[in-house]
Structure 1
Amino acid sequence: MQSTEKISILEQFYIACTKPRQYKKLLNVKKWKVAIFTLLMGLVITLLGPVMDLAGFAVSVGGPRNFVMNRLPAFELKDGQLKLERAVDFNLGALHISADSNKKSVGADDFDDKYSDEVHFSKNNMVVKTSVMGQTITKNFSTMKNVTFTNQDMANMLPLVYFLIFVSLLFVYAGIVLQYLFYCLLISWLVSLNMKTRNQPMAFGKIFQMSIYARVPCELIGTIGLTAGISFFTGIIWIMIGYLVSYQLMMMGLVERKAKE
């Protein structure tokens, strides 16, 4: 097979998205280049997803400071209790946020399966569900009786908020890359089993390398659809479709490769 070590990142991306029957050309790409491609894909997904959501939200509300001071209802956290001028319920991209100080408390029962990430506030506590960390976090305001926090305090803390958002996005990016590799690992396992049943065993490392490229189209479509607010791309049906499409793309490349050999 002709060496493909000089294939650029853009060429790899083009083949991954449009020419599955040429995936065999990508099997000779050096491992470090495949690693760079994977990291860049994670960056693209992060930019098209969470970063785009944040940017779109900031523009729609006239900027973070305007949102805090004029669009967000007046609130005060004092003596371990939260008071809100009125209840709020909105989405920040894929993140669902609600707050109602008429509720005494919130818990896991307030979560909605159609959202992967949620934050709920009540008079006495808050609860967070995050897909990146894969856990639920509860914070009782009774542990913050010496804290007073209002809209103005939040506005004053915006530089710190920007920094925390940046740090959070780094964790989100790492989570996206790990999730990407996990999906590739699962698809590779299924393809490996298929190739064995065909009496055409293939090194698992090569199958895994091919899966990184086969996963690209569905990841991009799903990310763009989710950013556009289409709930279909958060459901189990889309996850199954993504697996099946990636699996089929890999088989297209593998079958042709075996046929020529």
Structure 2
Amino acid sequence: MTIVANKYTHVVGVDTHAKTHTYAILVSATGQVADTATFPTSPPGILRATAWMNRRAGEGQVLVSVEGASSYGAGSSLLGAIGAASFASVAKVVGMRSVLVLATILGTAGNLVQIFMHAQLWQVVLSTIISGLAAGLLLGTLPALIAEIAPRDQTGIASGLYSSLKTLGRSAAGAVFGVVLASFTIAGTKSASEGGYIAVWIVCAVTFLLCPIALSFLRAPRRDNGPDTDSLTANEKVDAKS
């Protein structure tokens, strides 16, 4: 059996996300982290990352391990970037809430495709395309919407709270799905059956399906554009105008 350290001088781990990928290069013989860097998921960003890996590895052989190769690590990252980049143009025409509704409908469709069609490669690719676009629209629209409707003096707090809740939600979902998959473990193995994954996709589809209903009741608060001059004294009105 071939050992990685015998064949490769460096190993690069890639933590993939919709807008950026984070790279960590390790020395195979010792496991020591030689360097880390983050690059955009755009084609120029990928080229910069490749050049960075070549410089750090020198003349050695490099093994690249990509996390999430079936989602952000593959075409979904590019589709996510496309969705995030295009949300502004779409929002100008239909509004941000409509973009969110569209994204959640796409998310529902992507999971439905996985539920009923996942036996062939083209079916997985189709689901990845739909889900990637949905993720891109959501990742582009939500922060912009939060920044728009938050009070001017609390935009930073609102954005930080959004990031924290997003991380909490991701962790909670991972824990729940782990329990679901564990309940479908095949006897005598440590692997979940197909039914476990279908159950996860059903949960995701139902959750996405509930989002447009919730968004239909959402009323964006009005921004505070300044002091109410009707309630100010004459001197205060002069100060407010200045």
TM norm. shorter chain > 0.5: no
Name the TM-score class by shorter chain. under 0.3
TM-score (norm 2): 0.27
TM-score (norm 1): 0.26
> Whose relative contact order is higher, 1 or 2, with alpha carbons under 8 Å and at least 6 apart?
1
